[in-house]
Amino acid sequence: MMKKLRQLWKFLSRRFVLFLLYFVLPILVGWFMYAIFSASLPRDLPIGLVDLDRTSASAEVVFAINASPTMYIKREYGSIMEAKAHLASAEIYALAVIPHHFERDLTLGKGAKLALYYNAQFVLVGKALNSAFAQVVGTLDAKQSVAQNLIKDGDLHLALSKAMPIFSQIIPLYNASSNYAQFLLTLLLPCMLQILSALAMIQLLKSAPHSFKSLFIRYVGNTMVFVWWGICMLLLLKNLGFEVRGSFGLLVVGVGVLLLGINGVVVCLQALLLDIKKTIGVVAVYTAPSLAFAGVTYPQNSMNLLALFWSKLLPISSFMELYIQQANYGGSVSGAWQILGEMSVFVLFFVLGSLIYHARRGR
In a domain? residue 346: yes
Same domain for 211 and 154, yes or no, is: no
Side-chain half-sphere CA neighbours of 335 within 13 A: 12
Q: Is the dihedral of CA 278, 279, 280, 283 positive or negative?
A: positive
Same domain for 248 and 124, yes or no, is: no
Which span out of 2-11, 89-98, 155-164 was modeled with the highest average pLDDT? 89-98
The domain that contains 57 carries what CATH number? Answer: 3.40.1710.10
Average pLDDT for 3-21: 71
Same domain for 200 and 349, yes or no, is: yes
Residue 306 clears pLDDT 60, i.e. is over it: yes
User: How much is the pLDDT for 74?
Assistant: 92
How far is the C-alpha of 11 from the C-alpha of 18, rounded, in Å? Answer: 10
**E strand or H helix at 276, and its extent?**
helix 276-287
Identify whether the C-beta of residue 99 lies closer than 8 Å to the C-beta of residue 52: yes
In a domain? residue 173: no
Identify whether the C-beta of residue 262 lies closer than 8 Å to the C-beta of residue 198: yes
pTM of the model: 0.78
- Whole-number average pLDDT of the chain: 84
Same domain for 73 and 94, yes or no, is: yes
Same domain for 208 and 64, yes or no, is: no
Same domain for 348 and 284, yes or no, is: yes
Residue 163 clears pLDDT 80, i.e. is over it: no
Average pLDDT for 169-198: 81
Confidence bin at 341 (pLDDT 50/70/90): very high
**Count: domains in the chain:** 2
Identify whether the C-beta of residue 160 lies closer than 8 Å to the C-beta of residue 122: no
User: How much is the pLDDT for 166?
Assistant: 60
| pLDDT above 70: percentage of residues in the chain | 86
How far is the C-alpha of 207 from the C-alpha of 198, rounded, in Å? Answer: 16
- The predicted-structure confidence for 250-300, as pLDDT tens digits, reads as follows 999 999 999 999 999 999 999 998 888 999 999 988 888 887 788 777 777
Domain boundaries, position 354: 10-38+180-361
